[in-house]
Structure 1
Amino acid sequence: MHVVLAGGGTGGHIEPMLALADALSRRTVGGAAVRITCLGTARGLETTLVPARGYELRLIPPVPLPRKPTLDLLRVPGRVRRAVADTRALLTELGADVVVGFGGYVALPAYLAARGAKVPVVVHEGNPLPGLANRIGARRAARVAVTTAGTPLRGAEHVGMPLRTSITGLNRAAHRAEARAAFGLDADRPTLLVFGGSQGAASLNRAATGAADALTAAGVQVLHARGPKNTDVGVPARPAGAAPYVVVDYLERMDLAYAAADLALCRSGAVTVAELSAVGLPAAFVPLPIGNGEQRLNALPVVEAGGGLLVDDAELSPAWIEAQLVPRLTDPAALLALAGHAAAAGIPDADEKLADMVIGVAGKVAGR
């Protein structure tokens, strides 16, 4: 069985694609391993992320999709035709049994090429507001999987967000001492994790560092990923014996960061929300203030379940952190309740559910 995965561009498409690839690579069909090929473009993160995880990457022409009507929209049909022709030839060469798309400018030509090549399609939508590529792909897809219940796609089935097993298999309590030691944190203090994505977030950096004295005076230690370019972000060294405030550029091991923390202050991208709920780590979510509002929608199911808080970017401040987070971080019962509700909102086996779906579609068509 040969599965072709289309999910290049951003981490929000690539990470669930690779989590599914890992789940498929653990399977056999008819006694043979499942073959996996990922599609991408020469300009996306997939050029480094996919080979680093050990999967074959084949490149196709990108088809950027303007979010609003512009003159660039007139160029899309020609780009689509070229990309579809190249992708269809590639599907034929590979002998693809199924195409799985995760949205974005790689998925659209893959969906259209699969239709022409009579290869079945499975769509996975990570956001509660689907993009154009997945809206098109879902019209004739054999199965449609979504991360958020109620996502408006035809035939949508709620399976959750596929995640790495290093996250879904994480026992936070068992690794807490190891994780805190790795970051130079005290073993027994309540811990706030602050991160704003791979590049950091200026508003989170300002608010957290501004609240440093209030946090550490209350006995709360902080692990703060500021972003590799934000070298001016920092706090003065804490006095001897005080709760530490540790600032790092980037977190290579998010599993250890999650294990070290009792509460997170972060953005609410789809993968971030899914990871936090999968490991049962409550969070104060600060949706990105630009875009179509999907980050707020990503966080709402967890917040409504009692597993986190939601604060607008414009409202986030040192005073808000002191008033809202310090009392929770210094109340073990409150933290325990938040963690339980966060975990209840998570779907840790979405990768296996999606793998079942994909193998079922491919096997049905191939007569397996």
Structure 2
Amino acid sequence: MRVLLAGGGTAGHTSPLLATAAVLAEDGVDITCLGTPRGLEVTLIPAAGHRLELVPPVPLPRRLNGDLARVPSRLRATVKATGEIVDRVRPDVICGFGGYVSVPAYLVARRRKIPLVVHEGNAVPGIANKLGARFTEHVATSFPDTPLRHGQYVGLPIRREISSLDRLAVRAEARQHFGLDPDRPTLLVTGGSQGARRINQAVAGAARDLAAAGIQVLHAAGRVDEVAIDPLPDGPPYVIRSFIDRMDLAYAAADLIVCRSGANTVTEVAAVGLPAAFVPLPHGNGEQALNAHPVVQAGGGLLIDDAALTSTWVDNVVVPLITDLPRLDAMSSAASDLVRRDADQRLAEMIMAAGAAR
């Protein structure tokens, strides 16, 4: 079977694509991925050993402006390029994960009458997948209540090294990997693949308070120039990285995470039972807050508005929480039973069934 997987731009689209591709490859499926030159897929997909075809990006503006008038001509060019790739690859099924690159893939699938599978990563569906869901009955969602036509809850595919992670079993190895103390309370901080200025500055500004409480920090900043700390002499480690490629070990090293609430992050931290303080992105259509709600409502995390995240909040809330082991244990238990860890297998089965029925 030949499958074309369309998705890219951010980790929110690329990560579930790669997790699904790994399962399909194990089953002998011939995989081609479709992306644009601007996204993470340019690096991550070839590194995973999959073929990558590139088409020009066609951003869909959220507001009525001059860019909106240019969308049709740009889209026509990208659809033409996508059609040429599809005619050459001849996939039995196309699966899109949303974002810019999925729209031309959905349109070509419809024109060529190729079976289409749509996967929506967020609790609130994006424009691309609302379109794709009109063309197929094979629609998978990451959250049970996502309002998407034909939606079937399968969960969000995540990497095997994370879905199978036993945090406690590899904690010592993980802390050694990052140069952390083996026994101190450990805070993991990340704003996603591109960082988050608000998170970077709020946590860095509380570095002395964290150190005074004996808390060490592993901080994936995206931009390290946004993290200026004033460490205590001989205080706990404060490790700053621009990017962490071994997030499985980062999760294992941590007792608590401060992070955005993209669907991928929410699913991963819940799956491994890592207590979280979620800071939703302040713009968009509100999907990040909705992504985090199930975990927060179950008691596995906290929700803090971006504007309210300050160094004082870190001192008043994070410091007492990360040193409260019974509460952390309760949060971990509450989170770990919420999400499906086998979504990669479920989505792969949906894709193969759609292709086999052609």
Within 5 Å, which residues of 2 pair with 1:1-368? 1-27=1-27, 33-230=28-225, 233-239=228-234, 242-365=235-358
CA–CA distance in 2 between the matches of 1:275 and 1:174? 17
Shift of the 40–250 alpha-carbon distance from structure 1 to 2, 3 Å rule, reads closer
Which piece of structure 1 moves more, 321-330 or 273-282?
A: 321-330
* Percent identity between the two aligned chains: 56
- Corresponding residue SS for 2:239: strand
Shift of the 318–76 alpha-carbon distance from structure 1 to 2, 3 Å rule, reads closer
Query: 2:221 touches 2:227 (CA, 8 Å); kept in 1?
Result: no
CA distances 1:62-108 after superposition (whole Å, capped 9, x unpaired): 32211122232222222333322332232232221100001111111
CA–CA distance in 2 between the matches of 1:270 and 1:195? 14
Which piece of structure 1 moves more, 148-157 or 116-125?
A: 148-157
- Corresponding residue SS for 1:144: strand
Shift of the 149–213 alpha-carbon distance from structure 1 to 2, 3 Å rule, reads same
CA distances 1:115-148 after superposition (whole Å, capped 9, x unpaired): 1111010000111221211111101213101112
- Corresponding residue SS for 2:357: helix
Shift of the 126–67 alpha-carbon distance from structure 1 to 2, 3 Å rule, reads same
CA–CA distance in 2 between the matches of 1:250 and 1:162? 21
CA–CA distance in 1 between the matches of 2:67 and 2:208? 50
| CA-CA distance at 1:232 after TM superposition | 5.3
CA–CA distance in 2 between the matches of 1:54 and 1:18? 10
Letter paired with 1:257: A
| CA-CA distance at 1:56 after TM superposition | 0.6
- Corresponding residue SS for 1:277: helix
Query: 1:88 touches 1:116 (CA, 8 Å); kept in 2?
Result: no
CA–CA distance in 2 between the matches of 1:277 and 1:63? 33
CA–CA distance in 2 between the matches of 1:248 and 1:189? 19
CA–CA distance in 1 between the matches of 2:256 and 2:38? 35
Give the structure-2-normalised TM-score: 0.95
Map of 1:30 onto structure 2: none
CA distances 1:28-56 after superposition (whole Å, capped 9, x unpaired): xxxxx210000112333222221111101
CA distances 1:182-217 after superposition (whole Å, capped 9, x unpaired): 222221222111121233322222222232233232
CA distances 1:279-299 after superposition (whole Å, capped 9, x unpaired): 111100111222222211111
| CA-CA distance at 1:327 after TM superposition | 2.1
Question: RMSD of the TM alignment (CA)?
Answer: 1.7
CA–CA distance in 1 between the matches of 2:38 and 2:189? 29
CA distances 1:262-317 after superposition (whole Å, capped 9, x unpaired): 10011111111111111111100111222222211111111111110001111112
- Corresponding residue SS for 1:100: strand
- Corresponding residue SS for 2:61: coil
Query: 2:224 touches 2:241 (CA, 8 Å); kept in 1?
Result: no
Query: 1:142 touches 1:361 (CA, 8 Å); kept in 2?
Result: no
Query: 1:192 touches 1:221 (CA, 8 Å); kept in 2?
Result: yes
Which piece of structure 1 moves more, 112-121 or 61-70?
A: 61-70
Query: 1:3 touches 1:37 (CA, 8 Å); kept in 2?
Result: yes
How many correspondences in the alignment?
358
CA–CA distance in 2 between the matches of 1:133 and 1:247? 36
CA–CA distance in 1 between the matches of 2:201 and 2:285? 24
CA–CA distance in 2 between the matches of 1:317 and 1:76? 39
Letter paired with 1:175: V
Shift of the 152–232 alpha-carbon distance from structure 1 to 2, 3 Å rule, reads closer
CA–CA distance in 2 between the matches of 1:251 and 1:61? 28
Which piece of structure 1 moves more, 305-314 or 141-150?
A: 141-150
Query: 2:201 touches 2:227 (CA, 8 Å); kept in 1?
Result: no
CA–CA distance in 1 between the matches of 2:146 and 2:3? 25
CA–CA distance in 2 between the matches of 1:94 and 1:317? 51
CA–CA distance in 2 between the matches of 1:171 and 1:84? 44
CA–CA distance in 2 between the matches of 1:296 and 1:355? 28
Query: 1:307 touches 1:345 (CA, 8 Å); kept in 2?
Result: no
CA–CA distance in 2 between the matches of 1:268 and 1:21? 24
Shift of the 80–253 alpha-carbon distance from structure 1 to 2, 3 Å rule, reads same
Letter paired with 2:19: A
Letter paired with 2:195: G
Query: 1:238 touches 1:245 (CA, 8 Å); kept in 2?
Result: no
Flag structure 2 segments of 5+ consecutive residues without an equivalent. none
Letter paired with 1:158: Y
Query: 1:92 touches 1:117 (CA, 8 Å); kept in 2?
Result: no
CA–CA distance in 1 between the matches of 2:316 and 2:107? 52
